[in-house]
Amino acid sequence: MEMSTIYLPIAGGPVSQDPALTFFRLLATDPRQQRTRLDLCPALVAAAQQRAHGLANGDPWSHCDRDGVWPNEIARRNGCALPEWYAVSGNQIESLTAGAPDPQVAFDSVTNDSAPIHRSHLFGESDFFREQTQCGIGYAMRVGSEFTVEFIQNKN
């Protein structure tokens, strides 16, 4: 069976360390994680970074970018081999969060009880999502972006 992929763009605030790697560690080591393994995929990291950059620079808060391109297609354009049945104009792979001052806050916001589909996606709570064992996490910040949290003191 071909393994699937997940990715998570994050548009957030100032950082002192790599927020994407910190977020990945939180995701991979969380006791709610139901996958037996979760690996970073360079193609998905590139796709997630592209999406995070777009969100920080004016893309609409949507799973579709300003040009009408959906996450599945963005991942494919970045070299990710998704299952053929994942629609070009669809999203079987992306969860979004934005505006968090650090990865822990971003992680908590997208995995809390008010975001059940994101939690299911990120922790592999269903057979469909549990098969997605590769991920990419992107982070982008731009002062003045509606998704940037600005602080006098800041962190990752």
Structural tokens at position 32: 């709610």
Q: Specify the pLDDT at position 147.
A: 67
Secondary element (H or E) of residue 134: strand 132-140
Rounded-to-integer distance, Cα 70 and Cα 16, Å? 31
Burial 15-46 (b: 16+ CB within 10 A, else e): beeebbebbbebbeeeeebebeebebbebbbb
Q: What is the mean pLDDT of each run of 10 residues along the chain (156 residues)?
A: 51 62 93 94 92 86 92 93 92 85 86 85 93 90 66 33
Q: Specify the pLDDT at position 9.
A: 56
Q: Specify the pLDDT at position 153.
A: 35
Q: Specify the pLDDT at position 89.
A: 94
Q: Specify the pLDDT at position 145.
A: 73
Rounded-to-integer distance, Cα 97 and Cα 57, Å? 15
Compute φ and ψ for 20, nearest 5 degrees: -65, -45
For the chain, which residues make up each domain, given as ranges?
A: 4-140
Q: Specify the pLDDT at position 2.
A: 45
Beta strands in 33-119 (DSSP E): 39-40, 97-98
Q: Phi/psi class of residue 56: alpha, beta or left (left: φ > 0; alpha: ψ in -120 to 50)?
A: alpha
pTM beyond cutoff 0.85: no
For 12, other C-beta atoms within 10 Å of its C-beta total 28
